[in-house]
Amino acid sequence: MDIASTPSNPAGNPEMADAAVEPHDPATTMRKNYQPPAWLVSEIRLEFELGLELTKCVATMRVERNPDGDGDQTLHLSGDNIAVMNLKVDDADAEGWSMSGPNLLLPLSGDAHKVTVETHLHPATNSQLMGLFASNGMLCTQCEAEGFRRITFFPDRPDVLSRYTVRMTGDKATFPVLLSNGNLVETGENGDGSHWAVWDDPWLKPSYLFALVAGQLVANRDTFTTMSGRKVDLAVWVREGDLERTDHAMRSLINSMKWDEEAFGREYDLDQFNIVAVADFNMGAMENKGLNIFNTRYVLADPETATDGDYDGVEGVVGHEYFHNWSGNRITCRDWFQLSLKEGFTVLRDQMFSADMGSEPVKRIEDVRVLRAAQFPEDSGPLAHPIRPDSYQEISNFYTATIYNKGAEVIRMMHTMAGPERFREGTDLYFDRHDGEAATCEDFVKSMEDGAKLDLSQFRLWYEQAGTPKVTMHATFDQSEGAVTLHFTQKVPATPGQPTKQPMPIPIKVALFDRDSGTHGGEQLLMVDKSKADFTFKGFTRPPVISANRGFTAPIQLDAENNDDDLVFLAAHDDDAFARYESLQQLVTRELLGSIENGPDEKRRGAIADAMGAVIDDAQIDDLMRGELLMLPTLTFLLELAAPADPVALHHARERLKAHIGLRLRDKLIALHERASAIPYGLDARARGARKVKTQALVMLTAADPKEAAARAEAQYRSATNMTDRQGALMVLAGIGCPARSELLADFHARFDGNALVIDKWFALQAGSLDPKVLDRVEALAQHADFTIKNPNRVRSLYMTMAGNMAAFHDESGRGYRMIADLVLQLDPLNAQTAARFIPWLGRWRKIEPKRAALMRAELERIAAAPDLSKDTREQVTKSLD
Ligand code: ARG
Ligand code: ZN
């Protein structure tokens, strides 16, 4: 908006303004430079006159000198794209203030003052979706991490905790619903068609947790009674036509509230809890105090329009945001370097919640798959950073799989080392000790040491060092002693800014299996805490089969040097679900990497097909687990191991193996598809499992015989009663050149026309398909009437899906790279946060064979050469080229 209207020579003292000017190049913020704020804001009252085109905001703050600050006389208020329309100190026109770039500097004489500042906002043209913005005719906010400064001038940092009162007034027809944080305390009519509401949040909070929503919304309402008997009014707010798709979100919310009481002893602390669904949103959701704001895709679900995966997404994200009320809001972060304090811990909490709501082993496998596909590549690339970074240019770039998912793994290791009871004592102590504070990762670790009785001195390295540790395990057997020795080595690879590393403490759970009985004598947790460590076990008459890193106790790359026979044995016998899955994955990985160099290994391929056949026949496991075991490793994970790789060759190798399995297991897969198809729709584990294996069977059959499978897929599509089956069938059809392809894609579009979340799927199905013409299709789809670059979900459904489609993105012409770079350049001025998220795909060039790598680099250079790049994209591109 109108940064141009900023008074260049504001009222007051011009000399002083000049003296205070600081350089404003994209400065790097360093963790070690943390300083407590010089000024605190004990209270803030925000008064909004709402309008889509123009919203006026008057903020009145009680500012007080921080006794722990450095005594700076000048109050520094951050701003971003806003101008001072009026500024008062203690009700008199402010004097001597100046602008320092986007920020406001206000010299103050006393120790406490009332500061009033007026700003004018233009939500309708706020395409960045940070601060106050319009979406589908409603107003809403996103303030984390630094969006509050786009609303008013404020010490916009998480260690300034204030009490908020919010008064909104607006046209009643345009904004019938007025929401903010905390409790609704007053409402009224102005008599001119406008009305107002006052919300009061009794809990101190940082500015990033502020939220406001105004618009035409309807609510799904329910109540929850907390463990101490407090009745809470719950509401899930959506647009009129979406109400019937909110039951799952509401159920998930109620389950989350109950679960946090039981699992962590955490009770909700306000009379109301509101969730609002917004169609235009950069991220998944936001935990604003008492007013969570969600991307519609994590709220709306019904059988016809949402897949089982979507249902899980809603449950997980509703849980995640709710759990932030304690891990994030009651205890927040001192500075943004501590982001994983709330995100890593909260991801662990949502993982535990989802595991308790569904299947624990299946959830663990899913979480590890995500970690390997998203976090491992980050950790070994140019954007690698520790879970507690040391520096950043744009904090929005640090909402990463490392901070979130590796952060969760690090706390999960504490859970593994302490056991559930002591872990709970640790978290109890943490919540108790730091309630109401802006805390650090160190505070969490210390609470864990004291509460869970762990010595975490060396373990702190997990917060400091980036990079996925590479661990090898080699077993030797001493016949005369009956002793097995496991020899471990570890190496933490160099990452940007961290050329040398220290050994980390790595908890590895192992079991030693007897080859004949297929049993083991109990699990052991080994701590590998040096670069080399040996562990000896006695009482063996022959070499056992070693099952290591059971449950994926540590986020490492483990090479356990198992031979094929051992892997086949473990795939059949391991009683740890993750380890069983893992041994099959390793066998497949070995075959795929090997086949690129030497062609397929017939014996190993046979062993894989046999093992998969045994999985299909195994009556001891449910279909949800069967589905996991039948899944081949993701290409992103394989790329990590193959580097420098030809991704297209890897893709073809993977397809060939699928075809081989499909051919070898044809009858079993057909029987599986038919058995699963006979189970009626339901949300129970049995029916969900059936849907999972149904489409998997179809996928393998298609790889083997596309023509025959097409008929089966078409039948599945036409008889589908739910989105899981329908999308699964169409995914298969979209990848093959069968006659039904375009007809059914058109049918899908017509059937769900106007439902944005399903139309997103329609785009993604085509951008992610195995069709060799994907790039042509993506180009055409970008011109489709339903495509808009303004909606992040739509942009991601087309372009993020294409970038993740290895065969398309890595087309040897370089066209896939060019399309992503073109998108970044077009999107960056509109929505920098979303644009910057595409850079890591191109940034992986070091992992790719030289010809493609050069093309990828060239696109990064083209982006880097563009004038006026956002801070977000600039940081990512620069680091990716280094
Ligand atoms: N705290 C939110 C969550 O984890 C994510 C918000 C991120 N927002 C952003 N602009 N980077 O649920
Ligand atoms: Zn979060």
Ligand 2 centroid to Cα of residue 209, in Å, is 12
Among 522-526, 596-600, 671-675, which is the least confidently predicted range?
596-600
Does the annotation mark 321 as catalytic? yes
Which pLDDT does position 3 carry in this prediction?
Answer: 32
Which pLDDT does position 393 carry in this prediction?
Answer: 97
- Give per-residue pLDDT as tens, 625-661: 999 999 999 999 999 898 789 999 999 999 999 999 9
Q: Which residues pair with 163 in a beta bridge?
A: 43
- Cβ neighbours of residue 504 under 8 Å, at least 6 residues apart? 458, 459, 461, 462, 465, 469, 490, 492, 529
Which pLDDT does position 215 carry in this prediction?
Answer: 98
- Give per-residue pLDDT as tens, 169-219: 999 999 999 999 999 999 999 999 999 999 999 999 999 999 999 999 999
Ligand 1 centroid to Cα of residue 246, in Å, is 22
Ligand 2 centroid to Cα of residue 346, in Å, is 6
Single-letter residue type at 592: L
Cα distance from N-terminal residue to C-terminal residue, the chain: 33
Q: How far apart are CA 294 and CA 252, in angstroms?
A: 14
- Measured from the CA of 404, which atom of ligand 1 is nearest? 4
Strand (E) or helix (H) holding 485: strand 483-491
Q: Which two tokens mark 868?
A: 């006026």
Residue of 80, 141, 283, 339 with the most ligand 1 atoms within 8 Å of its CB, for mutation: 283
Dihedral pair phi/psi, residue 91, rounded to 5° = 70, 5
* Sheet containing 532-537: order of strands: 532-537, 483-491, 470-478, 557-559
Summary mean pLDDT of the chain: 96
- Measured from the CA of 343, which atom of ligand 1 is nearest? 4
Give the closest residue (by CA) to ligand 1 atom 3. Answer: 286
The full DSSP string for 785-853 is TT--TT-HHHHIIIIIHHHH-HHHHT-TTSHHHHHHHHHHHHHTTT-HHHHHTTHHHHHGGGGB-HHHH
Residue 717 has a CB neighbour count (10 Å cut-off) of: 21
Ligand 1 centroid to Cα of residue 754, in Å, is 28
Single-letter residue type at 513: F
Q: Are 689 and 624 contacting, i.e. CB atoms less than 8 angstroms apart? A: yes
Give the closest residue (by CA) to ligand 1 atom 1. Answer: 286
DSSP β-ladder status, 391-392 and 483-491: unpaired
Q: Which two tokens mark 652?
A: 């073809």
* Residue range 528-536: mean pLDDT, rounded: 98
Q: How far apart are CA 194 and CA 205, in angstroms?
A: 29
- Measured from the CA of 395, which atom of ligand 1 is nearest? 11
Which SS3 state, helix, strand or coil, does residue 433 take?
helix
Taking alpha carbons only, the member of 293, 407, 254 closest to residue 342 is: 407
For the chain, percent of residues with pLDDT exceeding 90? 96
Q: Are 26 and 875 contacting, i.e. CB atoms less than 8 angstroms apart? A: yes
DSSP β-ladder status, 391-392 and 438-439: unpaired
CA distances from 406 to 252, 348, 573 (A): 25, 10, 29
What confidence tier does 12 reach under pLDDT thresholds 50, 70, 90? very low
The full DSSP string for 162-175 is EEEEEEEEEETTT-
- Give per-residue pLDDT as tens, 497-510: 999 999 999 999 99
- Measured from the CA of 399, which atom of ligand 1 is nearest? 11
Instruction: Say if residue 14's pLDDT is above 50.
Output: no
What confidence tier does 26 reach under pLDDT thresholds 50, 70, 90? low
Protein residues near ligand 2, an ion, with CB under 5 A? 343, 346
Q: Which two tokens mark 13?
A: 């003292």
Which SS3 state, helix, strand or coil, does residue 66 take?
coil
DSSP β-ladder status, 231-238 and 272-278: parallel
Single-letter residue type at 29: T
Ligand 2 centroid to Cα of residue 320, in Å, is 6
- Measured from the CA of 285, which atom of ligand 1 is nearest? 12
- Give per-residue pLDDT as tens, 359-411: 999 999 999 999 999 999 999 999 999 999 999 999 999 999 999 999 999 99
Taking alpha carbons only, the member of 815, 818, 825, 816 closest to residue 874 is: 825
From the list 321, 409, 582, 714, the catalytic residue is: 321
Q: Are 782 and 797 contacting, i.e. CB atoms less than 8 angstroms apart? A: no
Give the closest residue (by CA) to ligand 1 atom 11. Answer: 396
Ligand 1 centroid to Cα of residue 570, in Å, is 40
Total number of residues shown for the chain:
882
Q: Which two tokens mark 356?
A: 């308790």
Pocket of ligand 1 (CB under 6 A): 142, 144-145, 282-287, 320-321, 343, 396, 399, 833
Instruction: Say if residue 5's pLDDT is above 90.
Output: no
Q: Dihedral angle at the C-alpha atoms of 651, 366, 714, 799, nearest 10 degrees?
A: -60
The full DSSP string for 226-260 is -TT--EEEEEEEE-GGGGGG-HHHHHHHHHHHHHH
SS3 content of the chain, % helix, strand, coil (to 5): 45, 20, 35
Which pLDDT does position 6 carry in this prediction?
Answer: 34
Residue of 256, 286, 318, 349 with the most ligand 1 atoms within 8 Å of its CB, for mutation: 286
- Give per-residue pLDDT as tens, 699-750: 999 999 999 999 999 999 999 999 999 999 999 999 998 899 999 999 999 9
Dihedral pair phi/psi, residue 9, rounded to 5° = -130, 80
CA distances from 217 to 136, 173, 214, 238, 410 (A): 11, 11, 8, 5, 40
Instruction: Say if residue 1's pLDDT is above 90.
Output: no
